[in-house]
């Protein structure tokens, strides 16, 4: 996903407007006069325009021009080649809207005249299924590919009334790709309506009035993080292609509802929580969310249970790596209850240690779950331990510890370490609490090396006295179930895992959540 802040085209060599009689300098490529006439919706010449000409292939492939003349007719000299031309026409009254004309194929083989005529455009009429929804903004983006080179142009507007048109001959089949995204705010929901097109032409008009049943619902919940004050922010945007996205404030313990168009593909959600004293606001990202018409997807950010989480997407960076004699750990130790890793985890202290055959190699302090060590060649047994204390470091603060054992030797290339984690995902209120004295079912998920069929044994336990005593709880069909203690108590969680190759994990989460 590419989020655009302002309109523009690819950088090149910007040429000033030249009279048709101008002559190229000695040794420069031969140039031709490109004359561009601009007409408004009444058919009259207008100086209210912004035009870009961008080289795609041929001698002019690296050229870019933004010629202007107040008369409405302007001439620029450019080398021979294929160009992308786009022109935005502004009426005398902004309330009447804007016209965007795109010529994806401009073959400059000699002196050429192009007429950009606002009368050829047709409306972009994309509206959500809520009559009172307020229009926020929209973006149109076009990419043109020729002979292996891609160039682009875009328009962004915060006013309704956009009209668009294709200009000139058709390009090669499939060489023109276009996105149109519009964003709205309503009483029932906010809306992100996006459409993509692949063709040999730019769009001339666009009409889409989706029904509510054809949209997907994304609910974003922001937890009331301990010590945080103020307002958080949430943004939603398509994962693929350029966009401006939809952003809005989100109060703690509140829910934002956004209805999106599944035709646009997967969607990304970003949440920035309220600031806590002396700590920066936490930023969480959930990318590539699959959405389906008529279905609701809920994402909760910054809520318990905080603990280790691994990136399980294909091709993700491994949690630990052995490269020669270097051992590196990279595990978000304080990911939130949904497994989102924070940009600035709130912690009081963090320590990581590495032992080789029982001998301490080193201790690192700093960011939770991230450290590097240098060891020695030869096969040996290792114990890698990472811990972090949340809150103010007092006895009531939450503490997370993960200790892995594995056998390793020097490698000739970066090799993933056989590390696993266990995720506990109870359904908690947005203040990180569960009802007292009730049967609580907690999904238990193994990530990493032991995921799937790699578990030899897994034992989970709970504690209501901050880890002094533990009670084993069976895991059945991926869930543990236990009765929560009296109101105001904390529940701690522990997992002891051995994978099928003998590697182990002991993971402890003291003060995982509270009861109410």
Q: What is the pLDDT of residue 241?
A: 86
Residues 6+ apart with CB under 8 A from 26: none
- Match 């009444």 to its residue by tokens: 42
Other residues' Cβ atoms within 10 Å of the Cβ of residue 152 = 18
Residue 9 has pLDDT above 50, yes or no: no
Pair type for strands 2-3 and 242-243 = parallel
Q: Is 237 left (phi over 0), alpha (psi -120 to 50) or beta?
A: beta
d(CA 508, CA 493): 6
Task: Report the alpha-carbon angle 217-220-226, nearest 5.
Answer: 165
Q: Residue 70 burial by CB count (10 A; 0-12/13-18/19+): exposed, middle or buried?
A: exposed
* pLDDT at residue 282, as a whole number: 84
Q: Using CA atoms, how far apart are residues 187 and 245, in angstroms rounded to an integer?
A: 19
User: Who contacts 354 (Cβ-Cβ below 8 Å, separation ≥6)?
Assistant: 327, 360, 361, 362, 371, 373, 375, 382, 383, 384, 385
Using CB atoms within 10 A of its CB, is residue 313 exposed (0-12), middle (13-18) or buried (19+)? exposed
pLDDT band at 468 (very low <50, low <70, confident <90, very high): very high
CA dist 237 and 245 (Å) reads 4
With cut-offs at 50, 70 and 90, classify the pLDDT of residue 351: very high
Question: Angle at Cα 303 formed by Cα 298 and Cα 308, nearest 5°?
Answer: 100
pLDDT tens-digit series, residues 46-67? 999 999 999 999 999 999 999 9
Q: Domain residue spans in the chain?
A: 2-208, 216-299, 320-515
Average pLDDT, the chain: 92
* Tokens linked to 43: 């058919």
Token output for 302: 């910054």
- E strands in 68-146: 73-79, 81-90, 98-108, 112-117, 122-126, 134-146
| pLDDT on residue 314 | 85
Task: For residue 442, give both structure tokens.
Answer: 């907690």
Q: Dump pLDDT digits (tens) for 314-347.
A: 888 899 999 999 999 999 999 999 999 998 888 9
Q: What is the value of pTM for the model shown?
A: 0.86
Instruction: Give which of 508, 514, 422, 437 is closest to 468, Cα–Cα.
Output: 508
Exposure string for 127-150, b = 16+ CB within 10 A, e = fewer: bbbbeebebbebbbbbbbbbeeee
Task: Please write the tens of the pLDDT for every residue from 264-313.
Answer: 999 999 999 887 666 677 899 999 999 999 999 999 999 999 999 999 88
Query: How many whole angstroms from its chain centre is CA 293?
Result: 21
Which pLDDT score is estimated for 227?
65
Lowest average pLDDT, out of 14-23, 88-97, 169-178, 423-432, goes to 14-23
Residue 155 has which token pair? 């328009």
245: left (phi over 0), alpha (psi -120 to 50) or beta: left
- 468 touches 505 (CB < 8 A): no
Structure tokens at 196: 């993509």
The tokens 């870019």 sit on which residue?
64
Higher pLDDT among residues 352 and 396, named by residue: 352
CATH number, domain 216-299, options 2.30.30, 3.30.70, 3.30.450, 2.60.40: 2.60.40
Q: Whole-angstrom distance between the N-terminal and C-terminal Cα of the chain?
A: 41
> Which residues, in sequence order, are bridge partners of residue 62?
none
């Amino acid at each position: 996903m590419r989020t655009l802040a302002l309109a523009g085209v690819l950088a090149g060599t910007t040429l000033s407007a030249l009279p048709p009689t101008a002559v190229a300098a000695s040794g420069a490529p031969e140039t031709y006069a490109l004359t561009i006439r601009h007409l408004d919706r009444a058919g009259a010449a207008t100086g209210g325009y912004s035009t870009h000409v961008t080289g795609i292939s041929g001698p002019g492939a690296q050229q870019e021009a933004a010629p202007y003349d107040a008369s409405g007719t302007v001439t620029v000299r450019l080398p021979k080649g294929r160009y992308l031309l786009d022109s935005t026409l502004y009426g005398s009254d902004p309330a009447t809207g804007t016209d965007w004309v795109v010529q994806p194929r401009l073959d400059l083989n000699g002196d050429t005249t192009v007429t950009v005529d606002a009368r050829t455009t047709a409306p972009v009429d994309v509206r959500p299924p809520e009559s009172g929804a307020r229009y926020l903004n929209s973006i149109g983006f076009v990419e043109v590919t020729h002979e292996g080179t891609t160039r682009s142009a875009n328009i962004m507007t915060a006013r309704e009334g956009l009209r668009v048109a294709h200009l000139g001959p058709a390009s090669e089949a499939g060489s023109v790709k276009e996105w149109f995204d519009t964003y709205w705010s309503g009483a029932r929901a906010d809306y992100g309506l996006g459409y993509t097109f692949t063709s040999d032409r730019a769009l001339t008009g666009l009409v889409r009035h989706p029904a509510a049943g054809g949209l997907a619902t994304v609910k974003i919940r922001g937890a009331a993080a301990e010590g945080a004050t103020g307002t958080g922010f949430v943004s939603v945007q398509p994962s693929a292609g350029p966009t401006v996205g939809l952003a809005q404030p989100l109060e703690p313990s509140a829910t934002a509802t956004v209805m999106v168009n599944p035709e646009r593909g997967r969607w990304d959600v970003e949440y920035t929580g309220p600031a806590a004293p002396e700590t920066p606001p936490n930023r969480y990202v959930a990318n590539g969310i699959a959405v389906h018409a008529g279905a609701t997807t809920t994402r909760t950010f910054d809520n318990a249970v905080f603990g280790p989480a691994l990136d399980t997407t294909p091709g993700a960076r491994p949690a630990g790596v052995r490269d020669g004699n270097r051992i590196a750990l990279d595990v978000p130790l304080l990911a939130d209850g949904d497994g989102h890793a924070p940009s600035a985890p709130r912690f009081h202290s963090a320590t990581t240690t590495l032992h080789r055959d029982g001998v301490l190699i080193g201790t690192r302090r700093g960011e939770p779950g991230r450290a590097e060590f240098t060891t020695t060649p030869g096969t040996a047994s290792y114990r890698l331990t990472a811990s972090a204390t949340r809150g103010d470091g007092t006895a009531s603060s939450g503490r997370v510890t993960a200790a892995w054992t594995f056998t390793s030797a020097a490698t000739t290339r970066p090799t993933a370490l056989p590390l696993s984690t266990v995720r506990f995902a109870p359904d908690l209120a947005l203040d990180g609490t569960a009802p007292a004295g009730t049967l609580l079912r907690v999904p238990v998920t193994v990530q990493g090396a032991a995921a799937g069929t790699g578990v030899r044994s897994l034992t989970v336990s709970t504690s209501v006295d901050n880890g002094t005593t533990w009670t084993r709880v069976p895991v059945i069909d991926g869930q543990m179930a236990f009765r929560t203690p009296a109101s105001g108590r904390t529940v701690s969680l522990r997992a002891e895992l051995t994978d099928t190759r003998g590697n182990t994990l002991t993971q402890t989460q003291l003060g995982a959540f509270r009861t109410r």
